[in-house]
Structure 1
């Protein structure tokens, strides 16, 4: 083993798909985990947070507003210069119901003017939802499956049995 390297492979509970926990695809990960990482860009637009206390959703990387993720607009340099880190949650960048980012950001990043500060509820945690057909629904594997599975055409074939005169049956198969 090379000094300074780790043989530990991150598991699903250690990495989120938000982009904050970027995991490179390496030869060390299992086939299933590799496939999940490969489709994270397909899944990410459907994963939305409903803000409760603002302590779970990343202000920069998670989708909790139509303009999110905010890192699509704000630069790492701007974060650093303003004293922010990439790991802040929504509640960390708010004070008394208003954003704490610099006023100059509204001219540098004009779309921030459209991002309204959410109302925080101290006793309510942020919740993850799945966005399907414009609506937020409770997160469930069946919704993910419906969004990412490939659908092929159904082909029907007429099969005539030459042994039985006049016997006809239908067979269908899915073409993916």
Structure 2
């Protein structure tokens, strides 16, 4: 069972779903609400709905309770429940004559608008309107955008292939060099000649290089011979058009090849079964062909691409 808690702040509602068996206390919930209050600033109209002390209504987006000691604030003679309207008289300001407060009063250059209600504006968005996106962008930890993202997540990608491709791009596949000390041999099982690393597996290994060169030749695509990291950077900068069919197929070609090479490597490690590089190439080619043949946009592919992949015209 879930308890749906609604926290009211002026005209804004904060919805928090809390499991009935959660260890949260109401104090923590109220503390969360208090931190959210700073997201909003009040644009004063008649001042009748805005707290004089506790709301963020001053021009610099601050509130009086945070600026001065309580001793000075109480010397005004105004209660803690006072509204901004209590310092408005005859359409103008009637500030308490307290010397310590005078610098704060001097920052208030706008005049009240008695014919309007106070308006609550969100400080997270230039328009003043609250959106979930603006709140999320404010709260989340921001990192630099990965310029390789469009190699993995694009319209028409194959999720499991993109996932393995992503792990390979950040060096997180469990290659033998990452298992050093837990395996008896770190030699590449595909070629049996060198230590298995990400750079070796894609595509310095004799077996994987044959697969990569063969599938590129079969697909009539020419790629530079570069180390793995540089190859990814080149692909990201060269095949970056979102709606270009050739660029989309190139990204599929790379991710599907990486996936089936990793699949073949794991078959050899865990099931002691192996297939020739020609069989792997044909598996990759047919996987891509089947995938793009079932796309809604397959009929719009240029004749050259349809011929390469043996796609039947409508």
Query: Does the Cα contact within 8 Å between 1:79 and 1:85 map onto a contact in 2?
Result: no
- Structure 2: gaps of 5 or more residues: 13-22, 149-165, 170-201, 213-252, 259-314
- What is the TM-score normalised by the length of structure 2? 0.37
Q: Does 1:169 align with 2:161?
A: no
Q: Does 1:29 align with 2:26?
A: yes
Structure with more of its chain in strand, by fraction: 1
How big is each residue's C-alpha offset from its partner over 1:5-42, in whole Å with a ceiling of 9 and x where there is no partner? Answer: xxxxx95127999xxxxxxxx95239xx64x834854x
1-structure distance, mates of 2:122, 2:114: 21
2-structure distance, mates of 1:148, 1:39: 14
User: Where do 1:103-142 residues align within 5 Å?
Assistant: 103=97, 105=98, 107-109=99-101, 110-116=103-109, 118-122=111-115, 124-132=116-124, 135-142=126-133
Q: Does 1:98 align with 2:95?
A: no
Q: What is residue 53 of structure 1 aligned with on the other side? A: 46
SS in 2 for 1:12: strand
Greater gyration radius:
2
Query: Does the Cα contact within 8 Å between 1:79 and 1:86 map onto a contact in 2?
Result: no
Structure with more of its chain in helix, by fraction: 2
Q: What is residue 75 of structure 2 aligned with on the other side? A: 81
Which structure is higher in RCO with an 8 Å CA cutoff and minimum separation 6? 1
Structure 1 runs of 4+ aligned residues shifted over 6 Å read: 14-17
SS in 1 for 2:254: strand
1-structure distance, mates of 2:6, 2:129: 23
SS in 2 for 1:88: coil
Residue correspondences, number: 146
2-structure distance, mates of 1:58, 1:154: 41
RMSD, aligned CA: 3.9
- Structure 1: gaps of 5 or more residues: 1-9, 18-25, 172-176
1-structure distance, mates of 2:31, 2:66: 20
Q: What is residue 20 of structure 2 aligned with on the other side? A: none
The 1:128/1:154 distance shift into structure 2, 3 A limit, reads: same
The 1:77/1:153 distance shift into structure 2, 3 A limit, reads: same
- What is the TM-score normalised by the length of structure 1? 0.61
